[in-house]
Structure 1
């Protein structure tokens, strides 16, 4: 290594499933890898992770601990707890800066920082998020199958959401949280399936330690429920991609190709930052693909 070579081959910002999957492959490929993570995964309140073959039902913390142990077993992989706040092209690669003023350089950069959920300001909603206020039936639907549940949504999106959840939960109510924007045809279809449409605004979520008990409406009536499905507004967890000049799509996701390459050469993205498929197995898969392409690029440079 000459004096102008960055000390790391790859910096991975984000040490959850996508980041650690990438670190594992790159460590096995003999690359010098630094994983920087701030310990705030989006699923930190979720009690169990599902649909990951061989690991179904384990907690997110268990999965992360196993992933970290296995990735760090390779001597060229390092881990540092840090919040990265800056990223830029620098010399033969990239430089990132942390909240504490440290800087690190590498030949390639992988953003695996995920998304941030912007939750509605309904009392109790955030306390239940990921526990009994749920975003995905494929993640959590089996556990509340057949129970009385609600959906917080409206219009076309609400209609499509009800269609999906009804498969698991025939006893479902749609909370439009204000005047319904469903079409007459959609309203008739929902009523045909005995789906209750509640337009009264939601005042609060009644719960015990995150376990939903009832939805309290603005008129002080309550609707007992086991779970409430809802979608959050999604935003990038930081502005690193924008700092680097990476293109974002209309929904705010980082634009990547099939192998995780962003529109900025040398910068890759993996995990929730570029897809709405917020599943552990998906994040691990596209982290591995990005790492494979990073390895190919570095080998092509060296050969």
Structure 2
């Protein structure tokens, strides 16, 4: 065990965790990042919506951030997996799968989510390459194309209406009987959007590019891309749950606006908090959590100096 007490251990080295590390590093805090290297967006070729970095490869963004963090010797990165978090009074003991142990005053969980994709043959081959969850991230590249919309709950109707902003050549695939009010099918049809309820047999693609959606009756619908409403994502890291952190209605860990959970000193940011917040959102939450934590630590240090 490293007996030196750290200010912050950040679990997860994505945009949220790295952003928090930058703020805290520049605040003269001793910080450790522990990242097991399985980000949610690892299948994505390009990330969008981050000012000055639009279209950047997610892995390239991580490499740039890590390189810049080398300017701060008080920030250290470990490519390991956290397997245990223990709270002792006002400190945490964080242990990795290699047996490395850290004592820290604060913990930030920025581990994101894991997508549970539909059990449709061929879906995994296109996900992140031509079928996506977020039109704000990838709608521009698919604008005007013949697109598939995958989903089967009432929210899929406003989701389809939103996608109409990027393309009016849409087909909604519910992969079974539609679970929403039939009147909405008529509303979509009035905008030339068909609703296909026949179960999907498979997606045909080439090199990750969607070509056809084929139903169990053998019908084939030519599509060049698509969007899915619900990837039924789950937490990539369950230790906060073991510490008593509740889930919110989005499937993220419950916390306040700054990421603070009900457990003192434990913060959750990014997708782990929101289910999906996007690249720019994760960076912003990391910055905000870093500022809040540094302020807390500065006030604690001030009081300690007076004792």
- State the match for 2:305 in structure 1: none
Q: Aligned to 1:131, which of 113, 129, 132?
A: 129
TM-score by length of 2: 0.94
User: Does residue 55 of structure 2 align to residue 65 of structure 1?
Assistant: no
Runs ≥4 in structure 1, deviation > 4 angstroms?
Answer: none
What is the aligned partner in structure 1 of residue 168 from structure 2?
A: 170
Q: How many residues align?
A: 300
> What is the Cα deviation at residue 300 of structure 1?
1.1
Superposition deviation, residue 98 in structure 1 = 1.6
SS in 2 for 1:22: helix
Once the two structures are TM-superposed, the CA of residue 247 in structure 1 deviates from its matched residue by 2.5
Partner of 1:99: 97
Listed as ranges, the gaps of 5+ residues in structure 2 are 303-307
Match of 1:282 in 2: 281
Cα distance in 2 for partners of 1:212, 1:301 equals: 55
Q: 1:45 to 1:86 in 2, by over 3 A?
A: same
The 5 Å alignment of 1:137-176 reads: 137-176=135-174
Is 1:267 aligned with 2:266? yes
- Provide the secondary structure at the position in 2 that maps to 1:168: coil
CA offset at residue 244 of structure 1?
2.1
Given candidates 44, 47, 51, the residue that maps to 1:46 is 44
The residue aligned with 2:54 is 56
Q: Which residue of 2 aligns with 1:243?
A: 242
Partner of 2:113: 115
Q: Helix, strand or coil: the match of 1:255?
A: coil
Deviation at residue 39 of structure 1 after TM alignment: 0.8
Partner of 1:233: 232
Structure 2 residue aligned with 1:255: 254
Counterpart of 1:203 in structure 2 is 201
CA contact (8 A) 1:13 1:113 kept: yes
Q: Which among 82, 85, 110 is matched to residue 83 of structure 2? A: 85
CA contact (8 A) 2:144 2:169 kept: yes
1:190 to 176, 188, 191: 188
Asked whether the equivalents of residues 110 and 270 of structure 1 are also in contact (C-alpha less than 8 Å), the reply is yes
Deviations 1:63-82 (A, max 9, x none): 11111111232010000000
Rounded Cα–Cα distance in structure 1 between residues aligned with 2:290 and 2:95 = 22
In 2, Cα distance between the equivalents of 1:143 and 1:242? 38
Which deviates more, 106-115 or 250-259?
250-259
SS in 1 for 2:54: coil
CA distance, structure 1, for counterparts of residue 59 and residue 232 of structure 2: 24
Which residue is 1:30 aligned to? 28
Distance 1:134 1:94 in 2: 38
Between the aligned partners of 1:278 and 1:97, the Cα distance in structure 2 is 28
1:302 and 2:295 aligned: no
Cα shift readout 1:98-117 (whole Å, capped 9, x = no counterpart):
22333222111000101111
In angstroms, what is the RMSD of aligned CA positions?
1.5
1:91 Cα shift? 4.8
> Per-residue deviation at 1:153?
1.1
SS at match of 2:154: helix
TM-score (norm: length of structure 1): 0.95
2:233 aligned counterpart, secondary structure: strand
Task: Give how far 1:179 is off.
Answer: 1.1
